[in-house]
């Protein structure tokens, strides 16, 4: 069965300050890290071995995910001392499972994407075309911030144009690729390589079979605070949700698709609107929390008003969730 690689080593610059202490893929959606949602999607497609390609704040992943047995999966960790770029990270991670002898396909996931597309169908499409690489494509209204990927009438990719001002199609790279192992062995080892700016354009130019699997299901890159909050609200799909063991006083008003983690406590008279609250957070009485992100293990004193803020145990900084 295919082997998964999760690209989780980026700096999450556009999400700052939310990524000051938390790597982007460990930010919570509905109380679970983005990575956990992706692992569950991979498992559903029959992918049981996944390598996490980590770099920035790599030490945060292992205590949470361990060897993967809690999810019935086998998880491995490839750590880049300095980020190797998306291509270098894939090459480095695949080397952990001896890809040169492998006959297994690899499924690569950008680590900041929530997608409900059918990964097993994408793998079948890859095999049916005897492709070298197969990219999940999705149509968006504005393609400028993404990899623009035109295809021909049978779905063959004809170009790959990363982030352009005048996109030639609205079909974009949705950040989930199937690679045949032979292609991975062609990525130079130990070098900083961009899969988007180097590998894909080269494969297409040299006439290799690269295909686009087009599926228009729920899809979101959570790479900005506004997108993360949208993803969280989409997941909650109602006034609010709260994790196991969280105690909420009966007169609290929690709305706007807020998400409260596990083992937290919210005191009497508090009002929480469009906010993300982590695990083990203590919120006192009569607090107002609006458009804010409260990291795990924070203590908020009674009567505090927090509007448009990122709060961690050591930080208090403004954010915009719009
Ligand atoms: N291990 C590792 N090492 N991971 C990395 C590195 C690295 O050096 N650089 C980036 N990543 C990870 C990020 O953590 C993220 O999960 C993923 O690679 C993609 O990087 P982003 O920084 O989020 O890229 P983007 O959103 O601007 O563009 C990418 O995603 C779009 C879809 O959301 C591209 O793949 C676009 O082509 C695509 O359309
Ligand atoms: Mg991204």
Q: Domain residues for 199?
A: 3-221
Span from the CA of 71 to the centroid of ligand 2 (angstroms): 25
Residues 201 and 293 in one domain: no
Cβ-based neighbour number of residue 185 at 10 Å:
14
| pLDDT averages per 10-residue partition of the chain, 322 residues | 95 95 96 97 97 94 97 97 95 88 89 98 97 98 97 97 95 98 91 97 97 97 97 97 98 98 98 98 98 98 98 97 88
Q: Which of 172, 193, 221 is the C-terminal boundary of a domain?
A: 221
DSSP state of 188: P
Q: Got the DSSP string for 22-45? A: S-GGGSEETTEEHHHHHHHHHHHT
Residues 146 and 249 in one domain: no
Predicted local confidence at residue 214, as pLDDT: 97
Residues 215 and 253 in one domain: no
Return the best residue to mutate from 15, 86, 115, 136 for the ligand 1 pocket (most ligand atoms within 8 A of CB). Answer: 86
Q: Which of 190, 221, 252 is the C-terminal boundary of a domain?
A: 221
Helix (H, G, I), strand (E, B), or coil: what is residue 228? Answer: helix
Spatial CA neighbour of 31 closest among 308, 312, 244: 244
Cα–Cα distance measured from residue 78 to residue 190, given in angstroms and rounded to the nearest whole number? 13
Residue whose CA is at the smallest distance from ligand 1 atom 7: 85
Cα–Cα distance measured from residue 312 to residue 307, given in angstroms and rounded to the nearest whole number? 14
Span from the CA of 101 to the centroid of ligand 2 (angstroms): 31
Predicted local confidence at residue 98, as pLDDT: 83
Residues 242 and 109 in one domain: no
Cα–Cα distance measured from residue 127 to residue 248, given in angstroms and rounded to the nearest whole number? 51
Residues 69 and 190 in one domain: yes
Residues 179 and 256 in one domain: no
Span from the CA of 112 to the centroid of ligand 2 (angstroms): 5
Residue whose CA is at the smallest distance from ligand 1 atom 30: 175
Residue 137 Cα to chain centre, angstroms:
16
CB-based burial, 80-108: b 16+ in 10 Å, e otherwise:
beebbbbbbbbbbbbbebebeebeebbbb
Q: Are 17 and 27 in contact (CB under 8 A)?
A: no
Residue whose CA is at the smallest distance from ligand 1 atom 35: 175
Q: Give me the residue label for tokens 């692992």.
A: 39
Predicted local confidence at residue 309, as pLDDT: 98
Record the pTM: 0.96
Residue whose CA is at the smallest distance from ligand 1 atom 33: 221
| CATH number (domain holding residue 283) | 2.160.10.10
User: Closest ligand to 162 CA?
Assistant: 1
């Amino acid at each position: 069965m295919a082997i998964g690689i999760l690209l989780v080593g980026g700096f999450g610059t556009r999400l700052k300050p939310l990524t000051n202490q938390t790597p982007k893929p460990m930010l919570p959606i509905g109380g679970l890290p983005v990575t956990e949602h992706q692992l569950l999607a991979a498992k559903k497609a029959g992918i049981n071995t996944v390598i996490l390609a980590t770099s920035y704040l790599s030490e945060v992943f292992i205590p949470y995910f361990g060897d993967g047995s809690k999810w019935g999966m086998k998880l491995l960790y490839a750590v880049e001392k300095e980020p190797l770029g998306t291509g270098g990270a894939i090459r480095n991670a695949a080397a952990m499972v001896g890809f040169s002898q492998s006959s297994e396909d690899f499924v690569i996931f950008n680590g900041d994407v929530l997608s409900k597309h059918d990964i097993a169908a994408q793998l079948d499409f890859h095999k049916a075309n005897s492709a070298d690489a197969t990219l999940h494509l999705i149509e968006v209204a504005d393609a400028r911030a993404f990899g623009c990927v035109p295809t021909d009438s049978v779905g063959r990719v004809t170009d790959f144009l990363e982030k352009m001002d005048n996109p030639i199609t609205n079909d974009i790279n949705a950040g989930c690729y199937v690679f045949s192992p032979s292609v991975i062995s062609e990525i130079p080892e130990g070098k900083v390589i961009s899969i988007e700016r180097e590998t894909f354009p080269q494969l297409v130019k040299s006439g290799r079979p690269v295909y686009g699997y087009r599926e228009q299901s729920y899809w979101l890159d959570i790479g900005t605070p506004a997108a993360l909050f949208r993803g969280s609200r989409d997941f909650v799909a109602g006034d609010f949700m709260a994790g196991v063991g969280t105690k909420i006083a009966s007169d609290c008003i929690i709305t706007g698709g807020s998400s409260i983690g596990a083992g937290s406590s919210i005191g009497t008279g508090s009002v929480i609107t469009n906010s993300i609250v982590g695990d083990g957070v203590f919120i006192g009485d009569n607090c107002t929390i609006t458009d804010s992100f409260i990291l795990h293990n924070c203590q908020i004193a009674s009567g505090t008003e927090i509007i448009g803020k990122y709060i961690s145990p050591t930080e208090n900084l403004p954010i915009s969730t719009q």
